[in-house]
A and B are shown apart, each in its own frame.
Chain A
Amino acid sequence: MSEEFESRLRAALRPVAPSPEFTRNLIARVTADKRTEANTPGGRRRNPKATAWWLSAGMAVSLLMAVGVQQHLQERRETERGLEARREVIEALRMTSQKLNLAYEVIKSQSPSLADDKPGV
């Protein structure tokens, strides 16, 4: 019973052929692809997957480089701003010191008791 059913199933599932037109088109397409491949300079055509991989890798590297350059420029800008601020602070201190010395000279000229003291602490 089981074997009989299996043989019926086997008979029902015999391979079928596609239409002759489809076969002709298929052969034409595959062989044309083969010829194109043979005529492509440098031998085989590039594998689309490999191309996509290299493209993604290239983009990732470019992105990393852009981020790195951006970070470097940012650091340089901050260092320059820090140096500028330092210069301004030194200038301010120098000016303050000058003013204090001037004030000290004025006070000293008005009160002779301070004449012996040294200016500019």
Chain B
Amino acid sequence: MRILCALDKDKLTLNEAPQGFSDEHLAKARAGDTAALALLIRAHQRTVYSLALRLLGTRELAEDLTQDVFMQLNGNLKSIASNTHLLFWLRQVTSHRAIDQLRRRSRIEMTSLDDEVQLVGTADGGDPLLQRHLQQLLLELSPPARAVLLLRYQEDLDPVDIARTLDMPVNTVKSHLKRSLEILRQRTPPPERRRCEDKST
């Protein structure tokens, strides 16, 4: 409830929802059209699953959280005004629930993210070793800092939207971003050195 009350729909400047799912589809899903609901899940599952995976660190927990978020959405669908609102809601609920889960668990087992890294690597042709390295570093950050960084670089939100999504002051978002980037930069070797390291191993 707090989440929905905190939302000021007029001030939303979040980036556009994925293509292929319109406000018309949303209206159909709200009316109980299961085909439209399936389309909604297909359109937004990457966002929810990726946030959950990178925040929680394991595929099992990410899948459980993704399912919980969509089940919760199913119960709250009537309160979702637009596709932009839907995307905001999904990001907010996923982040809050993942952070709460991480706080409840003092120590979470960090299993390998190899499979997910391979998926990203094959999809965009990027450096899979660098991706794995960055994702492992990400898991060492505090949960709120991790959420801030993911919303900035995975979801491409600006600090104001991140602050609104995570219910935190904009200055806190900026300081989290600055500190986290410093940590990641210090612990990530430049591309040339990485190539040498890879050859030597």
Residues of A participating in the B interface, judged by any CB pair closer than 8 Å: 2, 5-6, 8-18, 22-23, 26-27, 29-31, 33-35, 37-38, 47
Contacts and interface: CB of A to CB of B under 8 A. Distances in A.
A26 B53 contact: no
B74 interface: yes
Nearest to B51: A15
Contacts of B34: 31, 34-35
B126 A18 contact: no
B66 A14 contact: no
Interface stretch (B6-14, B35-43, B92-100, B161-169): B35-43
A13 B126 contact: no
A35 B34 CA distance: 8
A9 B41 contact: no
Contact of A14 (B67, B71, B75, B120): B120
Nearest to A45: B75
A13 B54 contact: yes
Contact of B126 (A12, A27, A47): A12
Contacts of A11: 124, 126, 131
B49 interface: yes
A15 B46 contact: yes
Interface string B137-159: 01000000000011001101000
Given A12-B130, A14-B123, A38-B32, A31 B47 contact: no
B153 A22 contact: no
Contacts of A9: 134, 153, 181, 184
Interface residues of B, number: 42
Given A17-B45, A18-B49, A33 B71 contact: yes
Given A13-B150, A13-B153, A30 B63 contact: no
B135 interface: yes
A17 B130 CA distance: 19
Contacts of B124: 11, 14
Contacts of B38: 27, 31
18 contacts: A8-B188, A10-B154, A11-B131, A12-B135, A13-B149, A14-B123, A14-B124, A14-B154, A15-B47, A16-B53, A17-B119, A18-B45, A18-B49, A23-B45, A27-B41, A30-B71, A31-B34, A34-B32
Contact of A17 (B49, B67, B135): B49
